[in-house]
Each structure stands twice: as structure tokens, then as C-alpha cells.
Amino acid sequence: CLVNCSIIIDNDSLVDATIVKVGSANEYGILLEVIQVLMDLNLVISKAYITSDGGWFMDVFNVTDKEGMKLKDKAAIAEIEGYIRKSLGADSRYMPAKRRSVGVAASTDHNVIELTGSDRPGLLSEVSAVLASLKCNVVSAEIWTHNTRVAAVMRVTDEDTMLAVTDTVRLEMIKERLSYLLRGNNLSRGAAMAEASGTSATNTERRLHQMMLSDGDTEEFHGHVPAQPQRPNVTVRNWKDKDYSVVTIRCKDRPKLLFDTVCTLTDLRYVVYHANIDASNNQAYQEFYVRHVNGSPMNTEAERLRVIQCLESAIERRVSEVTIHELIKGNFARIIFL
């Protein structure tokens, strides 16, 4: 576990939720790591209180299972506590990949491919066809589209060996074919196929946020974009007496919302010192007291507007999420729109 980390699971104080308390030395990114672990455990966060007193950080989460029930099985609770302790000992953070770089990363059993570019009808089918022609089997893929941009993290194997592709000539061919395909008819905004690493679903989602942010999906697009039924309300103000910027979010609640907003603040290099999170009646309220990693609040209007824009995009991206899992060898797959 992290140095001087404490974990307490209280299943007695509340009738409708289990309380998970995690305390540790306050360091950049620790809040996101804790939320990632709770996501891995399929826990739903209904309320959260975050506070930092000097160098000590305390996270208090009210959690339920996916059916909205508090945790009851003592053995399962013990396993959850053990998993949290084990997971927080590893550094799960990703470093952003370089934009417009080209590459394929291999583990022993699969290759991980990252793709970014302009979205267009039929792009997924074209990518799948190229991989199939190169005798690559798509094991899984997660794809997000937002503001005419697309980002994908795909895991592929060799069709014959069912292991990672290792032949360098063949890997270069995969890079070349996919990079050419992604450029399509729109060269002005560019496209990229980049190196990737890591295998966990949680980190894949963080990586997709980073890829979309790096590729400019927060930029204003003046074409036809379907209207959102309920746009998020994001405000930022400075609390000058305490040198904090206060970020407030009001929007429709949905799974993984807290992960998406904290992920964005972390990737924008902000540290959360205090927070109040509440999700009830299908509505979410999130309030964060933040400073940049350099210790300062948001000092310019441009900085404030960028944070608002990036948080709005992070909240909306998951509306266009696609997950693909291969069921049998070949082209038959299950596609889930979330």
C-alpha cells in the first residue's frame, strides 16, 4: 500500500450504503487512483467527501453495488479491503502518448493499438477489414467518438498463433495501413496511430480521455452536432481568501461520472484538496476545491474557460462509447453502445 496509507470499511453506520475511508499522504493523482480501484470493484459512489489537512488526504466514499444495495457479504467486504490495499501499491497512471506518433505495443499475448482521427461513417468497419486482411484477430476494443473525433484502444492477436504479432515487417505494415486509413479525406486535422501499454479496462478509459483531449475534441466544431438532451452545467470561481479555484458541476448522473471528472482535472494538472460529491434522484452535484500542481489557482479567464470546456467534453464523451468483445474467431462480434 502507499506509505502511511489507512483503509477502513464501515458497514454499520449507514442503512443504505457502505462507507469506504482511504487516508494517505497527499500526492498528485492519488484521488483518481482510489476512484479507479472502486470502479474495478464495480462499486457505485453515491456520496463522497474529500479533504486535505496539511499533507494528509482523507477520502470518504458512500458506496453500493450496481443494484443500489449496501455490501452485506463479510467475505466479499474482506476481499474488497484486500484488493484496495494491494491495488494502491501499484502506479496505475499513464503518461500521454505523443500525438501523431505511430506504433504498436506488444505484450506476450496481444498487441495494443491506439487510433485517433476524424470520425466518419463506416470507419470501424474499414479498420476491422484492414486488420482482418493482415490476419489480425480483434480480441477487444473500446471506441469513443465526440465532436467529429474518434479514439480507439484495440487489443489484437495473430490469427494463427492467437498471441502477439512479433514480426517487425508485419508490424510496420499494420502501422502503415491503419495510418493511411485514418487520414481518409480530411488531412487538415490529422490522424495518429500510437504506441500503448497496459491492459486494465480502467486504464483504457483514462487513456481514451487523454487521447481525445490531446486530439482536440474539446475544440468548438461548427458543423452539425446532435444536441444533448441535458448539457452539463460547469462553473469555476476563485476563492481568493484560501487561494483555491472552486469547480462546480451539475448534470445528469450516470455510471463512472466521478471517474471522468476527476480524470480530467488530474490530466489538466490540478490537485483536488477538498470535494463534496452527491448523486441522488438521477442528478449529480460535484464541488472541487483545486489548485494547479504549481500551487496556484486559475489566474486567467482562458484557463478557467479551458477547464470548463474540458469537463463538459469529459462528461459528454461517454455517451458515444462503444465496446467490442470478440465472441468467436473471425468477424462475428458483439457491439455495445452505452
Total structural domains in the chain?
Answer: 2
CA distance 115 to 211: 9
- Residue 268 belongs to a domain: no
Residue 252: the pLDDT is: 93
Do 29 and 72 lie in a common domain? Answer: yes
Domain of residue 139, CATH code: 3.30.70.260
The residue out of 168, 188, 217 marking a domain boundary is 217
Percent of the chain past pLDDT 70, that is, above it, reads 78
Do 61 and 126 lie in a common domain? Answer: no
The vertex-34 CA angle with 28 and 39, nearest 5°, equals: 135
Do 86 and 120 lie in a common domain? Answer: no
- Residue 41 belongs to a domain: yes
- In sequence order, what are the residues at sequence separation of 6 or more whose Cβ sits closer than 8 angstroms to the Cβ of residue 80? 9, 20, 41, 43, 71
Residue 326: the pLDDT is: 47
153 touches 204 (CB < 8 A): yes
Res. 91: pLDDT tops 90: no
- Banded model confidence at residue 107, pLDDT cuts 50, 70, 90: low
Do 88 and 116 lie in a common domain? Answer: no
Residue 63: the pLDDT is: 95
What would the pLDDT profile of 108-142 be if each residue is shown by its tens digit? 688 888 888 888 888 888 888 999 999 999 988 88
Do 47 and 91 lie in a common domain? Answer: yes
Do 90 and 158 lie in a common domain? Answer: no
Average pLDDT score over residue span 86-90: 66
H helix count then E strand count, the chain: 7, 15
What would the pLDDT profile of 174-224 be if each residue is shown by its tens digit? 888 888 887 765 543 444 555 454 444 447 888 889 888 888 888 754 444
Q: Which domain holds residue 209?
A: 111-217
The residue out of 95, 123, 157 marking a domain boundary is 95
The C-alpha cell that represents 274 in the structure block: 477538498
- Residue 128 belongs to a domain: yes
121 touches 192 (CB < 8 A): no
Res. 287: pLDDT tops 80: yes
Residue 106: the pLDDT is: 57
Element (H, E) at 325: strand 321-326
Residue 40: the pLDDT is: 85
